[in-house]
A and B are shown apart, each in its own frame.
Chain A
Amino acid sequence: MINRRNFLKVTAGGAGLLGPASAMAYTPHDLLQYLCPPNNLPDQLAYEPSPPVRPFVTDLFIPPILPSKPLSQLQPPADPRAHQLWGQTVPNRTPGGGTPASWDLTPQSAYELKQKEFKWIYHTDAPYDKGTWSWGWQGSLDPQSYPYLNNKNAKVDNNNPNLLSALAQAKQSSSTSTAITFPMTPGPTIHATYGKALLVRQINELPPIGNSKATFALPSTTIHLHNGHQASESDGNPQDWIDSGEFWDHHYGLFPSGGNSHEKLSTLWYHDHRLDFTASNVYAGLSGFFLYFDDEDTGDETNPAGWQLPSGEFDIPLIFHDVKFDKDGQAVFNNFYTDGWLGDRITINRTILPKLTVQRRKYRFRILNGGPSRFYQFGLSQDDPINNPFPVIIITGDGNFLPEPVIAKHWFMSVAQRFDIVIDFSVFNDGDQIYLWNVLEQTNGKGPSGRQLDPKTDKEQMQVMRFDVVEMADGESDASKVPTYFRSLPEIPADLSTLNRRTWDFDYDGGLWTINGLVMDPNRIDAGIVKNSTEIWTFRNTGNDWSHPVHIHFTEFMILEINGKPYPYHTFVVQEAEDGKYFYVALPPPTRTSESGVIAQRRSESTSGTKMAVQYIDTGMQKELTPIDLFMGGPRRDVATILPGDQITAALSFMDFEGRHVMHCHNVVHEDHAMMIRWDILPEGQITPINESVPASQVWKAGLFGETSTSDPNQRPYTFRHQESRPAAAKDIEPSRGSGNFPPQAPPHTSPNYHQKSQ
Chain B
Amino acid sequence: MTNRRTVLTGFAAAVGGAALGRAGTANACNSLWHEAEHDSPGTDSTCKLPHSGLTADRFPNVLVLDQYGRKLRFYEDLIKHRTVMIQFMSTATEGDLNTVANLVQVQHVLGDRLGRDFYLYSITVDPETDTPPVLAQYARRHGARWSFLTGYPKDMQVIRDALFFRPGGHHGHHGDSQDCSMGLMRYGNDAVGLWGAVPTRTAPEWIAERLSWMQPRPVPQGAPRRRGPLPRQS
Instruction: Answer whether residue B143 sits at the interface, using C-beta atoms and an 8 A cutoff.
Output: no
How far is the CB of B86 from the nearest CB of chain A, in Å? Answer: 10
SS class, residues of chain A in contact with chain B: loop
Q: Are B181 and A510 in contact (CB under 8 A)?
A: yes
CB-CB under 8 A for A210 and B152, given A4-B39, A40-B161: no
Pairwise interchain contact B196-A277, C-beta atoms closer than 8 A: yes
Contacting pair B127 A17 (CB below 8 A) = yes
Q: Is the CB of A247 within 8 A of B225?
A: yes
Known contacts A276-B196, A703-B2, A759-B234; decide if A82 and B229 are in contact (CB<8 Å): yes
Q: Give the CA-CA distance A710 to B212 in the complex, in Å.
A: 15
Q: Known contacts A508-B172, A510-B182: does B2 contact A743 (CB below 8 Å)?
A: no
A572 touches B (CB below 8 Å): no
Any A CB within 8 A of the CB of B213: yes
A461 within 8 A of B: no
Q: Which of A6-14, A55-63, A423-431, A598-606 contacts B (4 or more CB under 8 A)?
A: A6-14
- Residues in B neighbouring A520, C-beta threshold 8 A: 199
A759 to B232, CA, bound (A): 9
Contact status of A11 and B65, CB under 8 A, knowing A233-B229, A240-B228, A703-B3: yes
Given the interface pairs A244-B217, A710-B205, the reply to whether A743 lies near B183 with Cβ below 8 Å is yes
Q: Determine if A336 and B186 form an interchain contact, defined as CB atoms under 8 angstroms apart.
A: yes
Would you list which residues of chain B between 91 and 117 have a CB under 8 Å from chain A? 97-99, 101-102, 105, 108
Q: Are A39 and B169 in contact, CB atoms less than 8 angstroms apart?
A: yes
Among residues of A, the one whose C-beta sits closest to the C-beta of B162 is: A336
A5 within 8 A of B: yes
**Contact between chains at A245 and B68 (CB < 8 Å):** no
Measured as residues with beta carbon below 8 angstroms from the partner, the interface class of chain A is 35 or more
Knowing A18-B128, A208-B216, A240-B228 are in contact, say whether A738-B101 is a contact too (CB < 8 A). no
Q: Which residues in chain B, 157-215, are within 8 Å of chain A measured between CB atoms?
A: 157, 160-174, 176-184, 186, 191-206, 210, 213-215
Asked if B71 is at the interface of the complex by the 8 Å CB criterion, the answer is: yes
Whether a CB of chain A sits under 8 angstroms from the CB of B54 is yes
Find out whether the CB atom of A510 lies under 8 angstroms from the CB atom of B231. Answer: no
| Docked complex Cα distance between A210 and B14 (Å) | 11
B38 within 8 A of A: yes
B50 at the interface (CB under 8 A from A): no
Interface residues of A in 1-44 (CB under 8 A from B): 1, 3-5, 7-8, 11-18, 23, 26, 31-32, 34-41
Instruction: Verify B213–A76 contact, CB threshold 8 A.
Output: no
- Within A699-732, the residues touching B (CB, 8 Å) are 701-704, 706, 708-711, 713, 716-718, 721
Nearest-CB residue, chain A, relative to B180: A36
* Shortest distance from the beta carbon of B207 to any chain A beta carbon, whole Å: 10
Q: Mark A316-354, 1 if CB is under 8 A from B, else 0.
A: 000000000000000000111111000000000000000
Q: How far is the CA of A40 from the CA of B166 in the complex (A)?
A: 9
Residue B224 at the chain A interface, CB threshold 8 Å: yes
Question: Do B183 and A245 touch (CB < 8 A)?
Answer: no
| Interface status of A619 (Cβ within 8 A of chain B) | no
- B70 interfacial contact with A, CB 8 Å: yes
Is A338's CB under 8 angstroms from B220's CB? no
Chain A CB within 8 A of B4 CB: yes
B64: min CB distance to chain A, Å = 10
**Interface flag for A647 (CB, 8 Å):** no
With A17-B151, A234-B229, A742-B97 known to touch, is A23 a contact of B172 (CB < 8 Å)? no
Query: How far apart sit A706 and B229, CA to CA, in the bound complex (Å)?
Result: 11
- With A208-B220, A240-B2, A710-B7 known to touch, is A34 a contact of B164 (CB < 8 Å)? no
CA of A710 to CA of B204, assembled, Å = 10
Interface bits A241-281 vs B (CB < 8 Å: 1, else 0): 11111111100000000000000000000000000110000
Nearest CB of chain B from residue A505's CB, rounded to whole Å: 12
Partner pick for B160 among A37, A244, A512, CB 8 A cutoff: A37
Q: How close is B5's CB to chain A, nearest CB, in angstroms?
A: 7
Contact of B216 among A39, A209, A339, A509 (CB under 8 A): A209
Q: Nearest-CB distance from A716 to chain B (Å)?
A: 7
Bound-state CA distance A407–B192 (Å) is 50
CB distance from B227 to the nearest CB of A (A): 4
> What are the residues of chain B within 8 A of A717 when measuring CB–CB?
105, 108
With contact pairs A40-B161, A216-B193, A240-B229 given, residues A11 and B37 touching in the complex (Cβ less than 8 Å): no
A509 B173 Cβ-Cβ under 8 A: yes
Docked CA distance A17–B153 (Å): 10
Docked-complex contact A704 and B229, CB < 8 angstroms: no
Cβ distance B37 to chain A, nearest Cβ, rounded Å = 6
Quick check: is A142 within 8 A (CB to CB) of the other chain?
A: no
Flag if A741 contacts B164 (CB, 8 Å). no
| B41, B163, B200, B210: the one within 8 Å of A336 (CB) | B163
Indicate if the CB atoms of A31 and B229 lie closer than 8 Å: no
CB neighbours of A239 from chain B (8 A): 1-2
Chain B contacts of A710 at CB under 8 A? Answer: 4-5, 7, 205
Judging by beta carbons under 8 Å apart, are B3 and A708 in contact?
yes
Which chain A residue shows the least CB distance to B225?
A246
B228 touches which of A82, A339, A523, A718 (Cβ 8 Å)? A82
Check: B51 CB closer than 8 A to any chain A CB. no
**Which residues on the A side are within 8 Å of B167 (C-beta)?**
36-38
Known: A18-B153, A210-B216. A509 touches B183 (CB 8 A): yes
A22 to chain B, nearest CB (A): 8
Q: Does A594 contact B (CB under 8 A)?
A: no
- Contact A510/B152 with A4-B36, A208-B219, A708-B1 known, Cβ cut-off 8 Å: no
Instruction: Check A704–B232 contact: CB distance below 8 A.
Output: yes
Contact of B58 with A by CB under 8 A: yes
Contact B199 A23 (CB under 8 A): no
> Is the pair B166, A36 in contact by a Cβ cutoff of 8 Å?
yes
B164 and A337 within 8 A (CB)? yes
Against B, the Cβ 8 Å flags (1 = close, 0 = not) of A519-561 are 1111100000000000000000001011000000000000000
Q: Check B218 for interface membership: any CB of A closer than 8 A.
A: yes
Inter-chain contact A674/B1, CB cutoff 8 Å: no
Inter-subunit contact B131/A17 (CB<8 Å): yes
List of B residues within 8 angstroms of A743 by Cβ: 97-99, 183, 199-201
Query: For B196, what are the chain A residues with a Cβ–Cβ distance below 8 Å?
Result: 218, 276-277, 335, 672
Whether the pair A718, B101 counts as a contact (CB closer than 8 A) is yes
Distance (Å) between the CB of B12 and the closest chain A CB? 10
Q: Does A511 contact B (CB under 8 A)?
A: yes
For B210, list chain A residues within 8 Å (CB).
276
CB of A512 within 8 A of CB of B7, answer: no
A34 lies within 8 A of B1 (CB): no
CB neighbours (8 Å) of B152 from chain A are 7, 11, 17-18
Chain B residue at smallest Cβ distance from A44: B164
Task: Look across to chain A and name the residue whose beta carbon is closest to the beta carbon of B69.
Answer: A14
Stretch in contact with the other chain, from A151-159, A199-207, A494-502, A620-628:
A199-207
User: Taking the complex as formed, is A451 at the interface, i.e. its CB lies under 8 A from any CB of chain B?
Assistant: no
Return the 8 tightest CB-CB contacts between A and B, nearest first.
Answer: A14-B69, A510-B183, A210-B216, A245-B220, A511-B181, A215-B193, A511-B184, A233-B229
18 contacts between A and B (CB under 8 A): A15-B133, A17-B150, A18-B153, A34-B153, A34-B157, A208-B216, A209-B217, A210-B215, A234-B229, A336-B162, A512-B184, A512-B199, A519-B199, A672-B196, A703-B3, A739-B173, A742-B179, A744-B201
New contact pairs (11) apart from A215-B192, A249-B226, A713-B203, CB-CB < 8 Å: A16-B133, A36-B167, A82-B228, A82-B229, A239-B2, A241-B227, A338-B197, A511-B181, A512-B199, A523-B1, A742-B183
